[in-house]
Structure 1
């Protein structure tokens, strides 16, 4: 399979490495080579089976418009753009393209979301209050993180104020705390490296390569 990786940051580089390890051909475009999606011409994009975007909230929308317009299949690991999700879903459907998005491509994080839903269902009516803390590296552009927002959404309407921290080169630490007058339950996911994100994204690209339509990673991760 031929994979185009957009973004040559820490995660993008690792995505390319993992794709190579899994036997795929890989081409990487960094921001300087692709200003405002200028490099994503139809002849260029159609030379790839799947595109994986790990860029920035500012770059991802032009990238998506250019790629989806050709009918491409695109996996998006970038967060901070979901106010445009409905538009991108509509474009993917009109062009019979494939779009797979997710706030976190770690399988462990997805299972954490499921566990959070169980906690909320069992504890909210019992008077527990919920809070979320998230920590990422100082160069992360969006706060709160997309993962923290997804974690709160997993609670099914239970409110959980989010506190964000930006420290050093922290890969990602998310903690959900449920507190009552008598006890406390803490659910934590800590990423030691970006490897889990990269591996999940490449597996997602393999899954999407034979499909069209729009998908949320949380709904399909168990099929990988």
Structure 2
């Protein structure tokens, strides 16, 4: 498979390494080489089977417009752009392109979301107060993280709670820590996911790229993670 990686930050570099390890041909574009999606011309994009984006929210939207318009396949690991999701979904469907996005491509985080849903179902109406605390590296642009927001929405959907408070921290080079707490007057339950490195995200993103390369439409990684 021919893979184009957009973004040459720490996660983007690791995605390129993992893709190469899995036997794929990899080309990487950094921000300077692809300012305002200028490099993503139809002939250039046609040279790849799938595009993987780990850039910034603003750049990701520009990249999606350029890539999806050609009918290509794309994985977007960048977060913070979901207000534009209806537009991007519509573009992918009109062009019969493939778009796979997600707040977190770690299989461990996906398992946490499933456990959080069950936790919310079991504790609904039992007097528990939920809260979330998350920690990421100091260069992460969105705060709170997309994963924390997804975690909150997952619990809200099954408990009916109007709001779940989120505390966000940006510290050094932290790969990612998410803590879901449910506390009552009687006890306290805690669900934790701690990433020791970014490799789990990179492996998930590459597996997602392998899957979307043969599919069209718009998908959330939550819905397909068991298939990749």
Give the alignment's TM-score, normalised by structure 1: 0.99
> Matched residues in 2 for 1:49 and 1:84: separation?
24
CA distance in 2, matches of 1:174, 1:28: 30
Which residue of the partner structure matches residue 206 of structure 2?
A: 202
1:215 Cα shift? 0.3
Residue equivalent to 2:146 = 146
Instruction: Specify the alignment match of 1:175 in structure 2.
Output: 179
Q: How does 1:1-224 map to 2 (within 5 A)?
A: 1-155=1-155, 156=157, 157-158=160-161, 159-224=163-228
Deviation at 1:124, TM superposition (A): 2.3
Structure 1: distance between partners of 2:217 and 2:58? 23
Distance 1:16 1:131 in 2: 35
CA distance in 2, matches of 1:46, 1:115: 40
**1:1-45 per-position Cα deviation (integer Å, ceiling 9, x unaligned):** 000000000000000000000000000000000000000000000
5+ residue gaps, structure 1, are none
**RMSD over equivalenced CA pairs, Å:** 0.6
Return the offset for 1:160. 1.5
**CA offsets per residue over residues 145-196 of structure 1, 9 Å max, x none?**
0000010111114332101001111010000000000000000000000000
Report the alpha carbon displacement of residue 58 of structure 1 after superposing the two structures with TM.
1.3
Segments of 4+ in structure 1 off by > 6 A? none
* 1:46-93 superposed Cα distances (whole Å, 9 cap, x missing partner): 110000000001100110000000001000000000000000000000
Unpaired stretches in structure 2, ≥5 consecutive residues? none
Corresponding residue SS for 1:125:
coil
TM-score (norm 2): 0.97
